[in-house]
Amino acid sequence: MSVLGKKNKLNGVQKLAIGFAILIFGGAALLSLPISSVSGEPTGFIDSLFTSTSAVCVTGLITVDTGTHWNYFGKTIIMLLIEIGGLGFMAFTTLFAFLMGKKITLKERLVMQEAMNTFDIQGIVKMVRYILLFTVITQVLGAVLMFTQFIPQFGVAEGIFYAIFHSISAFCNAGFDLFGHFNSLTVVNTNTVIILTISILIIIGGLGFTVWSELYNSKDIKRISLHSKVVILITSILVIGGTILIFLFEFRNPNTLGSMSLKDKVINAFFTSVSPRTAGFNSISLADMTMASRGVTMILMFIGGSPGSTAGGLKTTTFGILILTVISVIKGRKDTEIFMKRLSKETVYRAFAIFSLAIGLVMCVVMILSFTETGVTFEEILFESVSAFGTAGLTMGITTKLSLVGKIVIMITMYCGRLGPMTVMLALVKRKQNSVYQYPEDKILVG
């Protein structure tokens, strides 16, 4: 019996995967109740489950309009699901443990390590406290800035709710909005305060808590870890590069940036570069963008944010390692190098494994949706698939048209994208211990 019990024990990765699943189904149950909708009628369980999955996985894809379908109770449930999903349910479990005066066990610390994507468990509890405090302060500041815009437009009570909801949604890179009719931020794309505030919140949430902790505690930016340096470098390249490309591609497009002033063109190009990296808001029409801009958007969605952040996707560091490894191979170097440091083979192998799983997942989703969905183009399916994996939440308008199978496939993709394809595989597959022997080496031609 003891042996069976030992075998059936869940590891940290499995607990994390199950915890997210329980949260999703719990949220769906609440959203399906009549008290959650404006009409007072129950919402179909699949649509409720889709909304809950999208909120917990901080994606933003929706099959029913958030602003018009849900009442304040339903919107509050969605907001709480976004907050818990963005920070990770383990952070909230730890918070309740603090409030109850309960001691955090070693097993719980190991699960927290997996959830927070940190190198070790040392100082993990202290880090969770910092994360919760940092989150509250950042979201409050973001909400205060948006109070100035929403209160004059919607009144005090509704304006405050709008500001808090969008601050949480932006910081958690969720992409849910309350403007209704699937318009996202296109109705406020000339409001500099709202666009820039949400942009900054997206960047802060997407950098990762480890990076902000180091920046806060380090007196010299040169002394921060290699991880933080790579995150800041890749993020800067993606944001600046994306802004320039979208500005050039959309400058004369009358349906997007063409009719805007130069200031609004720059701000919206910047926002359109920031948001696809898992945030899911859009300030210009995606369907009316040039094909080149949609291509850039898909690349940004696939890469996503950084490890240990509220964002999903491949992750900036994984993308950085892939590029650096290719450069090292071209230069004839044996190791992947950056900032006068070399990366271990294990780290490089893991990055390529994650990339391969991510590409494989997106390809499978595209093939399934190409078979199940009718009346949509291949580009729309690819865009939707990449958006779901990257938990970006952007769509070319096919989410509401998805079949039952299509909705289930996209839900699974959002779940895998939020947890990470490697985490999902580790939860499903039993890992074998390293062998004590090695097979003889041989050669295969490549290239």
Which of 20-29, 82-91, 240-249, 409-418 has the least mean pLDDT? 82-91
For residues 398 and 216, what is the distance between their CA atoms, to the nearest angstrom?
42
For the chain, helix, strand, coil in percent to 5 are: 65, 0, 30
Integer-rounded Cα radius of gyration of the chain: 22
Identify the CA nearest to 264 among candidates 195, 357, 179, 169: 195
What's the pLDDT at 28?
96
Question: Is 186:194 a contact under the CB 8 Å cutoff?
Answer: no
Boundaries of every domain in the chain: 9-428
What's the pLDDT at 428?
57
Tokens of 176: 């849910």
Classified as helix, coil or strand, 342 is strand
- The pLDDT tens digits of the residues spanning 363-420 come to 999 999 999 999 999 999 999 999 999 999 899 989 999 999 999 999 999 998 888 7
- % of the chain surpassing 90 pLDDT: 56
In this prediction, residue 431 has a pLDDT band, given cuts at 50, 70 and 90, of low
pLDDT > 60? residue 12: no
Q: Which residues contact 72 (CB under 8 A, 6 or more apart)?
A: 161
Tell which wins on pLDDT, 309 or 282. Answer: 282
pLDDT > 50? residue 5: no
pLDDT > 50? residue 3: no
- The pLDDT tens digits of the residues spanning 324-345 come to 999 988 888 888 888 888 888 8
Apex 363 CA angle, 358 and 364, nearest 5: 100
- % of the chain surpassing 70 pLDDT: 83
pTM greater than 0.75: yes
For residues 423 and 7, what is the distance between their CA atoms, to the nearest angstrom?
20
What's the pLDDT at 384?
96
Identify the CA nearest to 362 among candidates 421, 311, 318, 419: 421
Classified as helix, coil or strand, 79 is helix
Identify the CA nearest to 59 among candidates 397, 438, 388, 430: 388
In this prediction, residue 55 has a pLDDT band, given cuts at 50, 70 and 90, of very high
What's the pLDDT at 430?
60
Q: Which residues contact 12 (CB under 8 A, 6 or more apart)?
A: 107, 110, 111, 113, 114
Tokens of 418: 């939020």
Dmax over CA atoms of the chain, in Å, equals 73
For residues 123 and 419, what is the distance between their CA atoms, to the nearest angstrom?
23
Number of CB atoms found within 10 A of residue 327's CB: 13
pLDDT > 70? residue 446: no
What's the pLDDT at 222?
74
